[in-house]
């Protein structure tokens, strides 16, 4: 499925280039109206990133998030700086259908497995951002992509599968925000290697041909953010291309 995405700073819709807060594009759209537009076009799921919460959980935009979730009948998964159970429970109380866990999934795997047990594996999405070196090693980056964890995605997924992992949002850092196309080979390989996991492809989608190419990889969903905001194609075209 196509999963339209919005990133928020101070309630405004923005996009970062490769996760860099110094390279921000702000879009003059109302997030609630944008989500309504995506749902009307056929979106069953939406993706929301709280970029303020990602930098500092104390500044999480919970009031804005709760109002936004109440405005749409679509299901919403939310990420951004989830470091404690209070962060997780707070987002579920605000109306999130799934919570997206990034760096904490790498740094505190036992804690995150506990959340999967408490809330259900269906409710948790691991967001794994990868830096692929010239030898093809796929290490997971943490702390806003600033650090190489030294942990390969293969080892991490093997560990979490034993805890019932279902959903993984996977991003090749080099592709994110570039509109130059996703890493098709990466998704094909991961879906082949881990058939029990429902992967969401994220990063690089800039044309309908990118969506079409992802259909044959085995991913269950495609996160589309900047391409829709920039008008590269319409949400209706994206859903039709995927076959939603």
Residues 31-49 have a mean pLDDT of 97
Which residue range forms the structural domain that includes residue 207?
2-242
- In 10 A of CB 202, how many CB atoms? 25
**Mean pLDDT estimate for the chain:** 92
Task: Using the predicted structure, report yes or no on whether residue 59 has a pLDDT greater than 80.
Answer: yes
- In 10 A of CB 67, how many CB atoms? 15
pLDDT at 84: 96
pLDDT at 149: 57
| Cβ neighbourhood burial of 154 (10 Å; 0-12, 13-18, 19+) | middle
- In 10 A of CB 101, how many CB atoms? 25
Task: Using the predicted structure, report yes or no on whether residue 209 has a pLDDT greater than 70.
Answer: yes
Annotated catalytic sites, by residue?
7, 129
Q: 166 near 198, Cβ under 8 Å?
A: yes
pTM: 0.93
Give the helix ranges, DSSP H, for 28-80.
31-41, 51-55, 62-70
Beta bridge partner(s), residue 8: 13, 50
- 177 pLDDT tier (thresholds 50, 70, 90): low
Residues 6+ apart with CB under 8 A from 179: 204, 205, 206, 207, 226, 227, 230, 232
Residues 120-141 have a mean pLDDT of 85
Would you give the DSSP letter of residue 73?
S
Domain count, the chain: 1
User: What's the token pair of residue 99?
Assistant: 């919570």
- 63 pLDDT tier (thresholds 50, 70, 90): very high
pLDDT at 79: 95
Residue 134: CA count within 13 A, CB half-sphere: 0
Residues 71-86 have a mean pLDDT of 96
Nearest to 200 by CA among 167, 160, 154: 167
pLDDT tens column, 19-28: 677 788 999 9
Q: What is the CATH number of the domain that holds 175?
A: 3.20.20.70
């Amino acid at each position: 499925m196509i999963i339209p995405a919005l990133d928020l700073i101070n309630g405004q819709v923005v996009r970062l280039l490769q996760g860099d807060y110094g390279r921000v594009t702000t879009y003059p759209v109302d997030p609630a109206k944008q989500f309504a537009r995506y749902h009307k076009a056929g979106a069953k799921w939406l993706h929301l990133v709280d970029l303020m919460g990602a930098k500092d959980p104390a500044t999480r935009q919970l009031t804005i998030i709760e109002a936004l979730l109440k405005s749409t009948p679509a299901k919403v998964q939310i990420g951004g700086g989830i470091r404690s159970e209070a962060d997780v429970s707070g987002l579920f109380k605000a109306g999130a259908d799934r919570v997206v866990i990034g760096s904490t999934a790498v740094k505190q795997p036992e804690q995150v497995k506990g959340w999967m047990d408490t809330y259900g594996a269906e409710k948790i999405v691991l967001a794994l951002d990868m830096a692929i070196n010239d030898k093809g090693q796929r290490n997971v980056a943490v702390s806003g992509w600033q650090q190489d964890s030294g942990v390969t995605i293969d080892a991490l997924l093997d560990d979490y599968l034993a805890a019932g992992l279902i959903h993984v949002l996977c991003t090749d850092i080099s592709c994110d925000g570039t509109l130059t196309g996703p890493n098709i080979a990466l998704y094909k390989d991961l879906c082949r290697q881990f058939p029990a996991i429902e992967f969401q492809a994220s990063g690089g989608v800039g044309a309908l041909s990118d969506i079409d190419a992802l259909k044959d990889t085995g991913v269950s969903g495609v996160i589309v953010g900047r391409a829709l905001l920039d008008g590269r194609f319409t949400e209706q075209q994206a859903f039709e291309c995927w076959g939603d």
